[in-house]
Amino acid sequence: MGEGFIIRGGNADLSDLTALPSDVVEKQKFYGAGSEEVQDGAVKNNGSIKYKLPINAIYTIPSGYHEQGEVYQDTQIVTGDIIINPQQGGSAAGIKDKFFNSDVIINGIENLVPENIKAGVFVGTVEGKWQGFVNGDPLQPYWYGLFAPGQTGRGILNRNSSGSNYPDHRYDWSQPDSETEGEYIWFRSMPDSSARSYPAITFDVPIEMEGVKSVTICYSLPDHSANSFTWLILGERAVNQITNDNSWTISPNMGANEAFVLPGTNELWSTLTFNISRAALYRYIYVGIGVAQSSSQGRFMRIRYIKLNK
């Protein structure tokens, strides 16, 4: 910046000068109003300010002189669409320290309707109305028509003397249950005087029973289908027949076992729980009809669920 000098003559007329110190940048000399002497400028020289604005900041421009090239910069990141996929437990939207020039999009959840949600349970603001059954517990091998994950059921024998009638026994793993709107297991022996083998069921996939304290069964059993050999049994090993041939003694092939008698219910539904003493030894559950031979009636049983309790 160049410097200028004013040479004042003895008779110079200063009456037309109007500048005051508040009109002149500091460190500059001038003649102006209010004095016949050289004055110093008083306006602060701010130079060229460059300032980045934080979020929601207020910046007050200082009074004084400002040079060309000042910058007041907004530091916010402008971004496009933010897409949010709802997750269990929630998730961050990723919008911290950002401004938007478009929308935040929250994706919809397919089939988010009351009929698909358990009754009384809310998913967001949607209350469930579904009153069906689910089974994700390996300690519930069968639950109102549903097997535990990976589990399957299989028809076997309780006792067999001839074996000739085993193929004629009936096993239905999904009989409709009008009372609960679920399903149940139904199995029966043939109504024949020669039917000397008696049906039973088991589950194919071994169950880890460490820590289990009891077993519960919900079942229906006509009185004529029950006696002291109609059993719920927990066993160590998988077998195809609970007892020995021509005997009501439990087969040694089953290994360690505990047997619980299932009394008749007069075809009404009953729920019984039995305490288990050596659960860590067992891997398989068996249920079998064990009545004596009849010439007029088949023997049958219905099972809504079996579960192991810790």
List pLDDT tens digits, range 234-250.
999 999 999 988 788 99
Instruction: State the average pLDDT for the chain.
Output: 85
What was the pLDDT predicted at 58? 85
Alpha-carbon distance 138 to 207, whole Å? 7
Together in a domain, 274 and 191? yes
Contact assessment for residue 153 and residue 144, using Cβ atoms and an 8 Å cutoff: no
Contact assessment for residue 55 and residue 96, using Cβ atoms and an 8 Å cutoff: no
What was the pLDDT predicted at 219? 98
What was the pLDDT predicted at 156? 92
What was the pLDDT predicted at 128? 86
Together in a domain, 161 and 92? no
Contact assessment for residue 251 and residue 268, using Cβ atoms and an 8 Å cutoff: no
The pLDDT tens digits for 146-156 are 999 999 999 99
CA dihedral angle for residue 138, residue 143, residue 147, residue 148, rounded to 10 degrees: -20
194 in any annotated domain: yes
Contacts of 234 (CB under 8 A, 6+ apart): 209, 215, 257, 258, 276, 279, 282, 284, 285, 286
Confidence of residue 37 (pLDDT cuts 50, 70, 90): confident
55, 87, 106 - which closes a domain: 106
Read off the pTM: 0.62
More confident: 97 or 42: 42
Alpha-carbon distance 306 to 301, whole Å? 13
Highest mean pLDDT (candidates 53-62, 97-106, 202-211) = 202-211
Together in a domain, 150 and 230? yes
Together in a domain, 100 and 149? no
CATH code for the domain of 258: 2.60.120.260
30 in any annotated domain: no
Mean pLDDT of 45-67: 84
What was the pLDDT predicted at 161? 65
Together in a domain, 161 and 304? yes
Mean pLDDT of 93-119: 76
C-beta contacts of 71-76 below 8 A and 24+ residues apart: none
48 in any annotated domain: no
What was the pLDDT predicted at 160? 76
252 in any annotated domain: yes
Together in a domain, 241 and 285? yes
Together in a domain, 93 and 161? no
Highest mean pLDDT (candidates 16-20, 130-134, 138-142) = 138-142
Together in a domain, 85 and 227? no
Together in a domain, 297 and 166? yes
70 in any annotated domain: no
The pLDDT tens digits for 4-14 are 455 555 566 77
DSSP string, the chain: ------PPPTT---TT----GGGSBTT-EE--TT-SS-EE--B-B----EEEE-TT---PPPSSB--TT-EEEE-PEEE--EEE---TT----S-TTEEESS-EEE---TT-SGGGSBTT-EETTEEP-B-------TT-SEETTEEPTT--EEEEES--SS-TTGGG-EEEEEEEETTTTEEEEEEE--S-TT----EEEEESS----TT--EEEEEEE--GGG-STT-EEEEESS--SBSB-TT--SBPGGG-SEEEEE----TTSEEEEEEE-S-GGG--EEEEE--PPP-SS---EEEEEEEEEE-
Together in a domain, 161 and 237? yes
Burial 145-158 (b: 16+ CB within 10 A, else e): bbbbeebebebbbb
Alpha-carbon distance 144 to 175, whole Å? 10
Confidence of residue 142 (pLDDT cuts 50, 70, 90): very high
21 in any annotated domain: no
84 in any annotated domain: yes
Length of the chain: 310
Residue ranges making up the domain that contains 84: 77-106
> Is residue 271's pLDDT more than 70?
yes
What was the pLDDT predicted at 176? 96
Confidence of residue 282 (pLDDT cuts 50, 70, 90): very high
158 in any annotated domain: yes
Confidence of residue 293 (pLDDT cuts 50, 70, 90): low
Question: CB count, 10 Å around CB of 115?
Answer: 9
106, 127, 162 - which closes a domain: 106
Contacts of 95 (CB under 8 A, 6+ apart): 82, 104
Together in a domain, 166 and 295? yes
Together in a domain, 286 and 172? yes
Contact assessment for residue 200 and residue 171, using Cβ atoms and an 8 Å cutoff: no
Count of domains observed in the chain = 2
What was the pLDDT predicted at 191? 61
Residue type, 300: F
